Amino acid sequence: MKKEPEAITDKCTVDAVCVQVYAKVVASISHEIKNILAIINENGGLLEDIVLMNEPGQGISSDYVKSATATIFSQIQRANSIIKNCNRFAHFGDRCIAQELLAEILELMTALVQRQADMKNMTVSVECYGDIRIVAPVLPFSSLIYLLLRAIIDASDHNSDVNLSAELSESTITLRFNLSLSLKELSSIIDNDNIKTLVTRLGGLMDIDDGVLQMRLAHKIS
């Protein structure tokens, strides 16, 4: 069956938004990895200096070595975690439709915006009530969550708290973003073109209820 031009255009638009999101994720991760390498390089230089100073008869405290090696190991673990998250997100594009634990998607996308949250000393938390599984095009869905979190972080003040909660009622999933933003700021997020494109693709409905940004969508989306 031949696809209508409008359907093809809509798919291309959704795909383009997902590519933009992935580019944002990779750009952010590359900055983090660069910082990690800088820390490892600095501590590697410290170890080299210790070796050069450790002449016969001159004692060097083992605490310096322990501190430097501990820092290097912790940064390696940090890098492994970042790459693991990036790899998981990338594999969301392997299948058009997939069943995933909602909590795992929300926690992953929260981890991917952690750098931006840290820059503003913000806390982003996730609460998922029950063992909710979503059947959906996971890449567009996860990309939408990422865009919403980034928009919220960008609009929020320093030292703010953001809580993302999810619950399932019958066949509808409701996501609530509890935060401190004005009605104008929340409306601006909803009206973002890329966000609207993905909400439309997922058949979702976004609104504002008493200062809380809400999104409702079916737990099975084709």
pLDDT (tens digit per residue) in 142-165:
999 999 999 999 999 999 999 999
Q: What angle do CA 99, 24, 142 make, to 5 degrees?
A: 15
pLDDT band at 60 (very low <50, low <70, confident <90, very high): low
Do 71 and 132 fall into the same domain? no
Answer yes or no: do 171 and 214 share one domain.
Answer: yes
Q: Return the bridge partners of 199, or none.
A: none
Q: Is 145 in the same domain as 37?
A: no
Verify that 85 and 150 share a domain, yes or no. no
Asked if 126 and 68 sit in the same domain, the reply is no
Distance CA 10, CA 19 (A): 14
CATH number at residue 55: 1.20.5
Query: Quick one: which H or E segment has residue 214?
Result: strand 212-218
Q: Identify whether residues 188 and 155 lie together within a single domain.
A: yes
- Boundaries of domain holding 168: 95-218
- Whether residues 166 and 200 share a domain: the answer is yes
pLDDT at 6 over 80: no
Question: What is the mean pLDDT of the segment spanning 47-68?
Answer: 70
Helices (H), the chain: 5-53, 62-90, 102-112, 114-119, 138-155, 183-190, 193-201
User: Are 87 and 99 found together in one domain?
Assistant: no
Q: How many domains does the chain have?
A: 2
pLDDT of residue 54: 65
Same domain, 144 and 196: yes
Which of helix, strand or coil describes residue 59? coil
Q: pTM for this structure?
A: 0.84
CB 75 within 8 A of CB 36: yes
CB atoms within 10 A of CB 178: 15
